[in-house]
Structure 1
């Protein structure tokens, strides 16, 4: 049985400003994207999607 190494491709990280400017492609307003990315400088598309979902499900205090 041969050992096969799987190649892992790192996701490209986009600048916060680019993600905010293109918030509509994620189906949210720029304000929502800004809140979801608070404290970050860069994020991949997959990370941004997860952060948006987490942000929208947070309980308001």
Structure 2
């Protein structure tokens, strides 16, 4: 007697799995890069505030 449920689904193709894995790696690289950029920005702002004082000049220098 045939199964009356939904049609059988095949396993995902290896191309789809590679595409998903590649996309996850790319997203992980973007997230890591963004986090590293924020850490460096905070470090530079703190170092610039030692030279210029805690002013908008220090922030503007780092962001420029």
Structure having the higher Rg: 2
TM-score by length of 2: 0.26
More strand by share: 1
Higher relative contact order (CA 8 A, sep 6+): 1
